[in-house]
Structure 1
């Protein structure tokens, strides 16, 4: 984490020419002159011969480019709980960024720097920066193989060589040199995310909040820690309206569900249109994971393939559109059908509830409207789904594979299956993504 913070300071200070942080100054140019390399960057004497002047390097940005660079960081909205509000540290008017912490530097290098340099810097500067961000993300992977470490080791050596072609020798302090040894450190010590100090620093910050008497900080921390432990211990027994439970692990945890607002805590009741009702029902049936439903899906697919003598595309479409009605009839004939199977076949209630936020499996989702009023963003979604792709309606050999979908949440609807179960559905507006020549999606 300290290597990332120092390298981030070097990069941002040099690119933005921040006072006291930049590694490009007269002494750095004199070093080039003394070594005898990169003559285009050697300092020049002023007209009166009393001062030295330096010419702009390839990494230098104009005032307009600096504003573009910082605007990318300023306007960035990150997911809730992912990082701090980095826009607080950016001053576009003065064209500077300062006061960010180690985790902010970590997040800037991994994710934000590549987009900022793509918008503002020249390609010969942007490409090594993008590769550097990709290297750090690969190094911090939760699962990393030894073959990947060899590839990453070769990658960082090339990246540092590209940096040497861009920046002055003063840029390369010991922290930049240590980047070359990070892969060996992972090979000897294990994944990087298990050995960082972020969680420890965060916990130390929590302990500091216990200090009430600054003349006795240790005693304040001890008393605060004991008080929290006692409260936590008691809450494991007395959380359910005074009911006593002997289980040590019965403390209430965060419950998934909707996120209300001050005006409307329980959502807004709406009446689903016929098309939306069918779309919700169809999606839930094909993705519910119920073994009985999956068996019936296979039966209906076989029935459609046997009865219809048509193109494969039409058979697949018929299977998708007619399965819901066929399932309702088949379940009606069953005598020992489970209650869950009956309500799933019957379909959801037309009356549903609409929300602007929802928490599912610990993940927070917002609509675009809710995000427009927040400093965070949780409306962007990504899905990799196994899909049957047809080139055209006449294609008899479709390709089955994983297709990536991107989009923004327009609406969150909770549909009710007649009091037996409820399912939250996200209405997502899809967007097309394409890769640029630099490997980024836009």
Structure 2
């Protein structure tokens, strides 16, 4: 069987693995992807779905989406010729709607549930009264809103939670940073853990 047109050569695999090995994300955004790259075998292993999302975050070509929408029905018909009808259920039918959903929703960061779930997790951590959970969450939300609102009226020299730099921020100026990188975030690379 011939190789597919999108199969990378060994040199291309090496460049891809080196690029992924050198990726650095802000703290808590993604796992340490460098640990998932095997430079000897030029393979990746152990990536979670969130890591793939963070790598492919801005890869969305509208022209390819229109082509996909036109050709997906033909592809599904060809698959129906090969596989029995028992193979096709609602999950295979969802492929037909995939390009439309990507076109309407845009890149994945606009339709992710991660930020909302993280926000709700932060609110749930602030629950003090287990008998009145909703009221405690509402009160925590109001406190956060007041905190955000009042932060703008502090003097510039006053340090508060919102004006402090992040714990991994290396305090470099914005002009020192490369402006073209989509993965450009302030911070330092995570180092290997030390035994105490």
Instruction: Give the TM-score, by structure 2 length.
Output: 0.48
Higher relative contact order (CA 8 A, sep 6+): 2
- Higher CA-based Rg: 1
